[in-house]
């Protein structure tokens, strides 16, 4: 009697791996889609309208899509003290634009704070050190950060007060500013910066700079956030 021939198991690949029984590993595409579904809002839950708070509400805490940071500091000039925010400059559609440090949520992110810091770290060249990270999370624990929830983009923005030297050191390292020997004299190790080279593999930002808060109050995507945050000079 003739027996039915079957393909060797080594050559057999299921078309739909989800339907197969047993501990088969999901494809990368399936894993990616599965991860995205974790962030989808369940039926019956609704996201809040845009608001400002020291802490996110539970729904926004669990179902945000992206997060970022707006570092700000007090600067002095002849006209007196003013607030400046740290932004990145990049090229989009052949135009030079500036914006805050932000990006999409990833599966490994434990919270919007983790997303915000990871994006800040990646977009600024991965040179902010562990001490800088610890200080950011310490501010969060002490309720010193202001969280801005933006409903339209499902984004959380954290206003984070830093020292002027924190921003200046980051600018110098990222922008590779060359200082003269006279300017370097007495300039010690940067407190919050790794002395290694800048890694720009995860960023489209070309340079980092301080911008006077009053000059960009009407900036696209940041207008509401900047006008609503109560930046504290103290």
Token pair 């990833």 is found at: 106
Find the mean pLDDT for residues 215-223.
58
Residue (of 142, 133, 191, 184) closest to 165 by Cα position: 191
The string of pLDDT tens digits covering residues 48-83 is: 999 999 889 999 999 999 999 999 998 887 777 888
Q: What is the pTM of this model?
A: 0.75
Is 120 in contact with 69 (CB distance < 8 Å)? yes
Question: Per residue in 98-129, pLDDT tens?
Answer: 888 999 999 999 999 999 999 999 999 999 99
Taking the C-alpha atoms of residue 164 and residue 87, their distance in angstroms, rounded to an integer, is 14
CA of 134: how far to CAs of 50, 64, 117, in Å?
A: 28, 23, 10
Mean pLDDT over 83-95 rounds to 88
| Model confidence pLDDT, tens digit, residues 158-201 | 999 999 999 999 999 999 754 443 444 445 568 888 867 788 88
């Amino acid at each position: 009697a003739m027996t039915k021939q079957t393909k060797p198991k080594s050559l057999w690949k299921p078309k739909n791996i989800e339907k197969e029984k047993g501990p088969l590993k999901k494809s990368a595409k399936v894993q990616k889609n599965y991860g995205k579904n974790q962030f989808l809002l369940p039926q019956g839950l609704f996201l809040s309208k845009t608001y400002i708070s020291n802490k996110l509400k539970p729904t926004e805490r669990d179902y945000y899509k992206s997060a970022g940071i707006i570092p700000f500091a007090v600067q002095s000039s002849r006209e007196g003290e003013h607030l400046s925010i740290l932004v990145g400059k990049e090229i989009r559609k052949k135009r030079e634009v500036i914006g805050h440090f932000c990006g999409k949520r990833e599966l490994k992110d434990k919270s919007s704070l983790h997303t915000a810091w990871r994006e800040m770290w990646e977009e600024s060249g991965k040179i902010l050190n562990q001490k800088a990270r610890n200080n950011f999370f310490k501010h969060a624990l002490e309720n010193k950060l202001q969280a801005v929830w933006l409903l339209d983009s499902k984004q959380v923005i954290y206003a984070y007060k830093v020292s002027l030297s924190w921003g200046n050191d980051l600018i110098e390292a990222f922008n590779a500013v060359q200082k003269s020997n006279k300017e370097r004299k007495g300039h010690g190790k940067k407190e919050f910066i790794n002395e290694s080279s800048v890694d720009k593999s995860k960023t489209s930002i070309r340079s980092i700079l301080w911008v006077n808060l009053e000059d960009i109050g009407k900036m696209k995507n940041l207008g509401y956030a900047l006008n609503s945050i109560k930046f504290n000079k103290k």
